Amino acid sequence: MRFDAKSCLILSPHTDDIELSAGATIRKFIENGCRVKSLVFSDCKKSVDTSRYEQDVLVKECRAAAKHLGINELEILEYPVREFPKYRQEILEKIYSIRKEMKPELVIAPWEKDLHQDHQTVAKEALRAFMRTDTSIWAYQVPGTCSGFTPDIFISITESEIEQKIELLYKYESQVVRRDYFQPNKIRGMLSYFGTFIGLPYAEGFMNCKSVLNLDI
């Protein structure tokens, strides 16, 4: 089935979430001419090992990753890691203001049952902000925090697209050295597992929160 969204808002609690979970899909959207706006809620300065890196290393890596994907609209906010629930209302209002300006056809957001409190906060506020609208919402999983995530939307990925995804993730040099889920074998394993659902070698997988389809020609 062809999917042809013209505008997509991607919501990433932390600097690397969306690339890990949906990097290949986002690249396809951009190559298809879709307007993609990326909103990252934390600059993750608290998570940086400052004995080895500058405090803004993740911001720089996030900008490099966005450039690699071809994202022209990137906004990085400064909510402190692990404290998003305290800022729930502000996060809702931020998403709501983008909703009014952009009116995206699709939002790609974290999953509401994600165990990480920051992911969960962004997921719930995204659902709230787009309640009673004709915007479709897909949820993504972040490796290791989404126990029970079962995808029901699949985007098939080719071998060369996996190579591009790995190249993209290696923009996060400071994370590659400390997070095992950045390793190419883990990335391939996850995409290969999702591919099995659709009988193809690889796929990125999402859960459907809301799909609004237009059948007019």
Out of 14, 94, 165, 171, point to the residue binding Zn ion (CB under 5 A): 14
How crowded is the C-beta side of 10, counted as CA atoms within 13 Å?
Answer: 33
- CA separation for the pair 200, 166 (Å, rounded): 19
Q: Which is nearer to Zn ion, 79 or 130 (CB)?
A: 79
**Options 8, 10, 11, 17; binder of Zn ion; rule CB under 5 A:** 17
The single-letter code of the amino acid at 138 is: W
13 versus 195: smaller Cβ distance to Zn ion? 13
The minimum distance between CB 30 and Zn ion, in angstroms, equals: 22
Number of residues engaging Zn ion in binding (CB under 5 A):
3
| Complex with Zn ion: residue 34 or 95, whichever CB lies closer | 95
Which three-class secondary structure state does DSSP give residue 84?
A: helix
* Residue range at the interface with Zn ion (CB under 5 A); choices 9-17, 41-49, 121-129, 151-159: 9-17
Q: Nearer to Zn ion by C-beta: 48 or 198? A: 48
Q: For residues 125 and 99, what is the distance between their CA atoms, to the nearest angstrom?
A: 12
Question: Counting Cβ atoms within 10 Å, is residue 75 exposed (0-12), middle (13-18) or buried (19+)?
Answer: exposed
CB 79 within 8 A of CB 92: no
Using CB under 5 A, list all residues that contact Zn ion: 13-14, 17
